[in-house]
Structure 1
């Protein structure tokens, strides 16, 4: 390409083990390096679990927080001025607002204005009111917007006539993740689970949005009929002490884990009790691993899972209905096998390489203006 590869900055609030952050890692291995030279920056220094994975993929990573006496927007402004990126692709609203303001007047190494692309991972209703207002007031600066699901796209609170909005269903990048009976035994041994127990697993930060409290209540109901069942909660977060107090027998808290793909073969059913979602990577990973799922009918989850085919969709905040759906799968191994096979088949449409190509088409369109 004339003038060398396009210089792109992916900007995120943190690089912890969240779904939005994992999408960056998934896409990193599929960047067209002949056209794009990608770097990553993040704000929160304590959320750095995925930094090694990004660096292993060949992407330089810049931490903007943690410098004594300096605020991260100043460090972002300095980075933008020094590196002179052609395009900044923002994730999460707070760093996105900063990038829209700080790129005013900046020029790229090619002498052009900095192009801006933003990915929406969540519904606007989840944002705090000041964040929502700041997002709306600066949204016009985006050259293009990508949404991770149609549900997220429909919830965007600011649109202008003629705005270009692209929905891109990302996918997991499980690589050579283990599967089969040996992987099942290894996963159960790793977590100390009985080989013959029914195991339900969930993955997500321990926050109100994920509503693991409803899942714990549903599991308590399930144990009345299936007393040997186990529930595995993978994730960490501010509600962990409260959730531990709610948990009864058979519940295992693993904390945050970087080996989720290796744990999935040890489970019989995947579950998400979320009250809000964009399109969770954890669900797509579970489906790719051949697990039937019971998830709430929120966000983009009904876009990738059909009720009664790859799993069950239930209303959010309803432990009794969640317990009923889990109980139906617990009592019927043949149904679990059938839905798991359907989930694996459906997962063939999850294409992270294709998602990155779609993102790069958005880049090309914005840069051509």
Structure 2
């Protein structure tokens, strides 16, 4: 329910609250800000300092406010929630959109249903932990659902996982999308591919025709790079000269460096992943859990075939007929190795899957369609109390 004194805004204000400040969540928030600015929405972003979100959201048209918050719940939560409540009172948003578990925790505690609230999990927090620690995470999601007018999932698999776990959400499912102008095949693709292999710092001595696999993602347990490293010796034995590049940074950096077999390189964090997708023959993301990962969508939009693990949203994101070649069980290095080998040794199949993936992205994963659907959700919630605002918000 909306507050009785809610005014019909000429220019509605949406407050995005996010604990992640880089990676996929930051890109989702930035894309929403950019698209909604053109629709006349005033976007305000509250997030911790650091990462790329402050800079990118401001460039996209948002007002950005620092909100210091740690990654995990703990003794600091009460102070973080109080700071956020004061921030919300100062901004006076018409709607609050929280992103990920920590922001959802603090945001819903701060608002408690007094302002229309959309919570977007970006993968469930209780999937990130096992055993006893998972119980409070699940308990919180079940309890806090009462303070979300909508729980917004990026895939049907994510919604189903939450529902099966007993989260009583008022659900909405809007799939992730990508900027198809930014993520696109290169003009004169083969020439660009060879130039990138010569010029990218981690690839300077790579032979132009060497099979290249790229994994783009934060170096952390969720993204499963350790499973890919364990699979790589089998790939190297079957495909001589193959190289793997991990693009990203994160808490598992030292662990992965120590575990890396020959043929693996680390590129570090990249401001722009497009050159890496365009340089690759194959893009792999061996995640252990997801809502719907952006990296495979971006790779397919660049015309690259992908191999992904069968976690939330992955099966939905693939083009028809790709699953037998591109989908493997999570944490199964042998299956992952076989899928990678199967595509590296079959260039025609790679080309076919790359073309199908590109067509699939253009047909169904344009970020402008995603942002328009989210705007429609905002319109539904705000328009419930102010029907005449519907036209203004939809412009």
Instruction: Mark the CA change 1:66 to 1:98 in structure 2 (over 3 Å): closer, same or farther.
Output: closer
TM-score by length of 2: 0.84
Which position in structure 2 is the counterpart of 1:293?
Answer: 306
How far, CA to CA, are the matches of 2:136 and 2:214 in structure 1? 35
Q: Is the 8 A contact 1:124 1:155 kept in 2?
A: no
Which position in structure 1 is the counterpart of 2:4?
Answer: none
Cα deviation code 1:285-322 (max 9, x no counterpart): 00101111111111110001157537511111211111
How far, CA to CA, are the matches of 2:351 and 2:117 in structure 1? 45
How far, CA to CA, are the matches of 1:176 and 1:347 in structure 2? 13
Which position in structure 2 is the counterpart of 1:322?
Answer: 336
Q: Is the 8 A contact 1:7 1:86 kept in 2?
A: yes
Which position in structure 2 is the counterpart of 1:19?
Answer: 24
Instruction: Mark the CA change 1:352 to 1:114 in structure 2 (over 3 Å): closer, same or farther.
Output: same
Task: Choose which of 202, 208, 213 in structure 2 pairs with 1:200.
Answer: 213
Instruction: Mark the CA change 1:206 to 1:34 in structure 2 (over 3 Å): closer, same or farther.
Output: closer
Instruction: State the SS of the aligned residue for 2:14.
Output: strand
Cα deviation code 1:216-264 (max 9, x no counterpart): 1211111112220000101112211111111111111111111101221
Shift of 1:132: 2.7
Instruction: Mark the CA change 1:159 to 1:273 in structure 2 (over 3 Å): closer, same or farther.
Output: closer
Instruction: Mark the CA change 1:159 to 1:238 in structure 2 (over 3 Å): closer, same or farther.
Output: closer
Shift of 1:185: 2.5
Which position in structure 1 is the counterpart of 2:123?
Answer: 122
Q: Is the 8 A contact 1:290 1:344 kept in 2?
A: yes
Which position in structure 2 is the counterpart of 1:110?
Answer: none
Determine if the alignment matches structure 1 residue 239 to structure 2 residue 252: yes
Which position in structure 1 is the counterpart of 2:371?
Answer: 356
Question: For structure 1, which runs of at least 5 residues remain unmatched after alignment?
Answer: 106-112
How far, CA to CA, are the matches of 1:66 and 1:355 in structure 2? 28
Q: Which range is displaced more, 294-303 or 115-124?
A: 115-124
Determine if the alignment matches structure 1 residue 39 to structure 2 residue 39: no
Instruction: Mark the CA change 1:57 to 1:93 in structure 2 (over 3 Å): closer, same or farther.
Output: same
Shift of 1:79: 1.1
TM-score by length of 1: 0.90
Determine if the alignment matches structure 1 residue 84 to structure 2 residue 92: yes
Determine if the alignment matches structure 1 residue 56 to structure 2 residue 65: no
How far, CA to CA, are the matches of 1:359 and 1:325 in structure 2? 35
How far, CA to CA, are the matches of 1:204 and 1:76 in structure 2? 29
Shift of 1:133: 2.1
Task: Choose which of 262, 265, 288 in structure 1 pairs with 2:275.
Answer: 262
Shift of 1:361: 1.1
Residues 126-137 of structure 1 mapped to structure 2, 5 A cutoff = 126-127=127-128, 128-137=134-143
Q: Which structure carries more helix by proportion?
A: 2
How far, CA to CA, are the matches of 2:107 and 2:290 in structure 1? 25
Shift of 1:41: 0.6
Task: Choose which of 310, 321, 332 in structure 1 pairs with 2:346.
Answer: 332
Which position in structure 2 is the counterpart of 1:94?
Answer: 102
Instruction: Mark the CA change 1:34 to 1:49 in structure 2 (over 3 Å): closer, same or farther.
Output: closer
Q: Is the 8 A contact 1:187 1:264 kept in 2?
A: no
How far, CA to CA, are the matches of 2:149 and 2:101 in structure 1? 15
Q: Is the 8 A contact 1:150 1:167 kept in 2?
A: yes
Aligned pairs, how many? 356
Instruction: State the SS of the aligned residue for 2:322.
Output: coil
Shift of 1:116: 0.6
How far, CA to CA, are the matches of 1:292 and 1:8 in structure 2? 36
Q: Which range is displaced more, 28-37 or 354-363?
A: 28-37
Q: Is the 8 A contact 2:37 2:43 kept in 1?
A: no
Instruction: State the SS of the aligned residue for 1:117.
Output: strand
Cα deviation code 1:324-355 (max 9, x no counterpart): 11111111111111111111111111121111
Shift of 1:137: 1.6
Shift of 1:181: 2.4
Which position in structure 2 is the counterpart of 1:172?
Answer: 178
Shift of 1:97: 2.0
